[in-house]
Copies of this chain bind each other. A is one copy, B any other.
Amino acid sequence: MTSVRVQPTTDGPGPRERMVQSALILMGERGIEATSFSQVIEHSGAPRGSIYHHFPGGKAQLVEEATRYAGDAVAMLLADAVKKADDPVAAVDTIVEFWRTVMYDSDFAAGCPVIAATLEGDHSPAARAAAKEVFERWQELYAEMLQRAGVPEDRARSLGSIAISAVEGAVILSRAEGSNAPLERVSDELHRLFHDAIDDAAT
């Protein structure tokens, strides 16, 4: 399995943040149960021993923080897209481009850590609670953009749900198929849905 690597740089994130980044990558690839502290230390290149200093709450704390960190990272991608152009279709493209690259670069081994936190939440209730908040926030960010583009609130919420659901699902289908084809086809359909909703709102 090819892992996406976190490249430590002199002015990059410090060891604590690198550990969170490594945790979210490994969770996405392998799931929470299969991700150990040792693997996170090795993957992040952080000094052994420091993980207990930074995460006194143990793996539960690390996994919860990694889920929230992933939530923030995608929220920032969406915020950056909005800054360039307050266009919901461009925001879809930003997220699809993110996953297209991550899947390709990982040789289709990558996965979404927020899905891992959802599916394995029986043993990590704090991570599942974080996953719930993250999914709600992502849907809401799309819904807000669509409302600013004139789409009525209920419809904007539905579109927010399908935008997140379909891309999350397509990433899994793409992983299964070892090809981004499902992601590309879903992107086409989301374009169409968003364009039509915005056009309808303008008429």
Contacts and interface: CB of A to CB of B under 8 A. Distances in A.
Interface residues of A, number: 50
Interface string A113-138: 01111111110000010011001100
Contact of A168 (B172, B177, B193, B196): B172
A193 B185 contact: no
A52 to B, nearest CB: 25
Interface string A170-188: 1011011110011001101
Number of copies: 2
Given A159-B189, A166-B162, A166-B165, A118 B182 contact: no
Given A177-B136, A193-B189, A119 B159 contact: no
A172 B122 contact: no
A164 B173 contact: yes
Contact of A157 (B162, B169, B185): B185
A122 B1 contact: yes
A108 B31 CA distance: 19
Contacts of A167: 165, 169
A202 interface: no
Interface string A148-169: 0000000001110110111111
A139 interface: yes
A176 B34 contact: no
A166 to B, nearest CB: 4
A31 B30 contact: no
B122 A111 contact: no
A89 interface: no
26 contacts: A30-B122, A33-B33, A33-B34, A109-B122, A115-B119, A115-B172, A118-B172, A118-B176, A119-B175, A132-B177, A135-B173, A139-B173, A158-B186, A158-B189, A161-B170, A161-B173, A161-B182, A161-B185, A161-B189, A162-B162, A162-B186, A162-B189, A164-B169, A165-B166, A165-B173, A168-B169
